Amino acid sequence: MKKWGSIRASLPPIIFFASIIILWEILSQVIQFPAYILPAPSIIGRSLLTNASLLIHHAGATLTAVAGGLALAISTAFLLALAMDRWKPLKQALYPVLVVSQAVPIFALAPLMMIWFGVGLLPKVLIVALVCFFPLAVNLVEGLSQVDSEAIDLMRIMQADSLMIMKSVQLPTAMPYFFTGLKIAATYSVLGAIIGEWLGARAGLGIYMLRAMNSFRTGDVFASIVVVILLSLVLFKVVDAFSWLAMPWKKDVSNYIEE
């Protein structure tokens, strides 16, 4: 019953989306718009198919930068949030810096990363990490501070040490906040990697997009956009699945977070 309900709920957007594509295709056939300005969906589809292995290769490079950057952002955000929770002066000192750091546009930082670290994988990983770090760190700091003081009291009565209090009370309290941050970070991460690749790369969807654009292969540009969207969606779903695994006590995590 529940399955049918969720299928039915996803029907309207699917139908809407499909009608747009069909309408677009028909209009392109009728108006005969130049393909280098707005290619028909069929042209984009053909580009996706013929360049499939090439796209997969470039998507792989982008995904590597995304995964590396996310891993770096998650681990540093955790370390910093835990330290800030432990030593309040550190939190008071660093929290404003964190917020200000967000005001620096990533477009301004990316060229610096290139100058310092070249056109390899490292600058992309760093750019992704920079974009993802903020939502993760801020949400984690917020989550760790939401701990019920009565729960801590209870643990102290049981003579639990601070490691056990961290594991049994603080981290689980912070989990929903962490995953809220991670969902935002996951969507930012692909964007960060693409920006990094635009400025120079050997492989990646960003550089593929740039090359296609420079030679007016607009169909290929659109194809790479489709792949970027798919990549973001998959990433979002993976994070969602992880949040389910990590928080089995939440019947519906996404509902909880959207409250």
Structure tokens at 190: 């692909």
Please identify, using beta-carbon distances, which residue of 152 and 226 lies nearer to another protein: 152
DSSP 252: -
Distance CA 140, CA 88 (A): 15
CA distance 19 to 224: 22
Report whether 113 contacts 126 (CB < 8 A). Answer: yes
Q: Is 32 left (phi over 0), alpha (psi -120 to 50) or beta?
A: left
Annotate each residue in 94-133 with x if it binds another protein (CB under 8 A) or - if it does not, as one string: ----------------------------------------
- Residue 157 within binding range of another protein, rule CB under 8 A: yes
Dist CA 130 CA 182 (whole Å): 13
Is position 154 an interface residue for another protein (rule: CB under 8 A)? Answer: yes
Helix and strand numbers (H, E) in the chain are: 12, 0
Residue from 55, 59, 127, 155 in contact with another protein (CB under 8 A): 155
**By CB under 8 A, is residue 151 in contact with another protein?**
yes
> Should residue 162 be labelled a site residue for another protein when binding is judged by CB under 8 A?
no
**Nearer CB in complex with another protein: 42/145:** 145
Examine residue 164 and tell whether it contacts another protein (CB under 8 A). Answer: yes
Name which of 53 and 150 has its Cβ closer to another protein. 150
Residue 255 touching another protein (CB under 8 A) = no
Alpha-carbon span 126 to 66, nearest angstrom: 10
- Contacting another protein within 166-185 (CB under 8 A): 168-169, 172, 175
Query: Which residues of this chain interact with another protein, rule CB under 8 A?
Result: 148, 150-151, 153-161, 164, 168-169, 172, 175, 247-249, 251
